[in-house]
Amino acid sequence: MLNKVVLMGRLTATPELKYTPANVAVCSFSIAIDRRFVKQGEQRQADFINIVAWRNTAEFIAKYFVKGQMINVVGNLQTRVWTDKDGKKHYITEVIADEINFCGDNRNSGQAQNNVPSMEGFEPVDTEDDLPF
């Protein structure tokens, strides 16, 4: 059996990091993914996918990603079922993230830009000399 999901879309809100009572990091967020085709005379439609990341992956997302930024998610699809206090069953389908990657353009702002490593300590390479490879 195989349950693997690969998605690329834009964050619909800046991810917020939370912790369980057992002090395990969790980050729930959603991404918007444009559909491929647009019907003539209509606007492009998008799907909004719920994603949950745990532990180090959750902390990474909260530290480096903001609303509107493009993100690549690799994970698996999971459906949860629960019954509310009125006895009504609720279902939610979400992606449990295993891998997160930066991708796309650099439409990030604020927090994420402040977390980008600086180029301090790097020197330009003189391209006029022969390189050893």
Within-domain flag for 128: no
Please tell me the predicted confidence (pLDDT) of residue 39.
86
Please tell me the predicted confidence (pLDDT) of residue 68.
95
Please tell me the predicted confidence (pLDDT) of residue 114.
47
When divided into structural domains, the chain yields a total of 1
Q: What is the mean pLDDT of residues 109-129?
A: 54
Of 40, 105, 98, 38, which is closest to residue 70 (Cα–Cα)? 105
Within-domain flag for 118: no
Within-domain flag for 90: yes
Residue 93's domain comprises 5-35+45-113
Please tell me the predicted confidence (pLDDT) of residue 110.
43
Q: What is the mean pLDDT of residues 109-128?
A: 54
Summarize pLDDT for 61-115 with one digit per residue, the tens: 999 999 999 999 999 999 999 999 999 999 999 999 999 999 876 554 444 444 4
CB atoms within 10 A of CB 60: 17
Q: Is 56 helix (H, G, I), strand (E, B) or coil?
A: helix
Within-domain flag for 124: no
Q: If pLDDT is split at 50, 70 and 90, which confidence band does 17 have?
A: very high
Q: Is 32 helix (H, G, I), strand (E, B) or coil?
A: strand
Within-domain flag for 55: yes
Q: What is the CATH number of the domain that holds 89?
A: 2.40.50.140
Within-domain flag for 40: no
- Beta pairing partners, 75: 5, 97
Please tell me the predicted confidence (pLDDT) of residue 121.
60
Please tell me the predicted confidence (pLDDT) of residue 108.
47
Contact partners, residue 19, CB within 8 Å, separation at least 6: 25, 26
What is the residue-averaged pLDDT of the chain?
A: 86
Please tell me the predicted confidence (pLDDT) of residue 113.
47
Q: Where are the beta strands (DSSP E) in 12-122?
A: 16-19, 25-34, 46-54, 70-83, 89-102
Within-domain flag for 66: yes
Q: Are 65 and 87 in contact (CB under 8 A)?
A: no
Within-domain flag for 106: yes
